[in-house]
Amino acid sequence: MSAGARAACSAIAVLAAAVVAGCAAPVHEYRRIVMGAECRILVCADEATADRAAVAAFKRLAEVEESLSDWMAASEVRRLPVRAGEQVTVSVDLASAIEESLAWSERTGGAFDATLGALTGAWRQARRTGVPLGRDEARELVARCGWRNVRFDPRTRSYAPMVDGLRLDFGAIGQGIGADAAMEAIRAAGVRSALVDLSGDVLAGDPPPGRRAWVVAIDDGRGTTLFLRNAAVTTSGDREQHLDAGGARLSHVLDPATGWPVSTRVQVTALAPTATEADALATALCVMGPERGRAVLAGHPEWTATWSWPDAPVATRAGPPAAAGQASPPAPPGPAPASGPSEPGPSGR
């Protein structure tokens, strides 16, 4: 899809691997399809409390989906006006997503852009048919996009497109927003030890008692293992979503400046305190590359990113060491960390 829209499975390279053996409290597992992808929630609590927390989390995810999903015909984002100057008042959830997205567009100089709905829809159809867009067609669609073509007032939650045909697509940030909302619901239910894995947008809370972290294995070809506590990780790239045409591999990640797929095969793994930050950061950095990306990471010790290129056995890491230290403390005590998903918890669902 794009810097403003990442397909649900594009971060599937991140695998949540919770090491639960020997924990002082049971870890209960819950799975459900939400926001077009499988969501896996691990909750460390007694069964009744864990069940309540999981129900609250999935309820909250459904609310976010009803606001942000471009796959649901009746979702709020699908009902937004597309005629220039037509204004509406949006819900709190949608307003928050718009405000956050515009902030990321400003932060990344437009490399992140949630206004590419017209483009992402066209490229989605291209992947179905196997026929890529023409350059002229892509340029025409770019004219119907652009984060600066949005008029939004966060105080009144009023939204209006400023060009005809502009559509929002939160594919590059929506699942991160969903994961954060699910964790907030879990914490409101009185549980601090939990992990949310929404199609590879992984958000870890406090680790299980007796553990220093949740273990997450990154399927990056290098066997990277992270130890997360109160941190998030997301991987974005063309591994799962791409179009092969005329000998070229066209990524689902689009450059908002051209409307054309990123030409270099690249995968970015981003670490941040929230899933929303990690989600937006990973896709934007695919577009920006290491040189421009370092400017975004500068001044943010809480963010770390690693670029890797599947066609070359090299990787580039950027971000202050403190960021990695927060997300990757020394290996926790107990059994050796897993390199892939562990067996389900005692009360797997």
Residue 211 burial (10 A CB sphere; 0-12, 13-18, 19+): buried
d(CA 314, CA 252): 22
3-class secondary-structure state, position 112: coil
Enter the pTM of the model. 0.84
Nearest residue to 332 (alpha-carbon basis) of 225, 260, 259, 258: 225
Q: Mind listing the pLDDT tens digit of every residue in the chain (349 residues)?
A: 333 333 333 333 334 444 444 455 789 999 999 998 999 999 999 999 999 999 999 999 999 999 999 889 899 999 999 999 999 999 999 999 999 999 999 999 999 999 999 999 998 888 777 777 888 898 999 999 999 999 999 999 999 999 999 999 999 999 999 999 999 999 999 999 999 999 889 999 999 999 999 999 887 667 789 999 999 999 886 555 445 444 454 556 888 999 888 776 788 999 999 999 999 999 999 999 999 999 999 989 999 999 987 665 445 666 654 333 344 443 433 332 322 233 222 222 3
What would the two tokens of residue 157 be?
A: 């939650």
d(CA 141, CA 164): 11
Number of helices (H), then strands (E), belonging to the chain: the values are 7, 18
Nearest residue to 97 (alpha-carbon basis) of 81, 84, 109, 114: 114
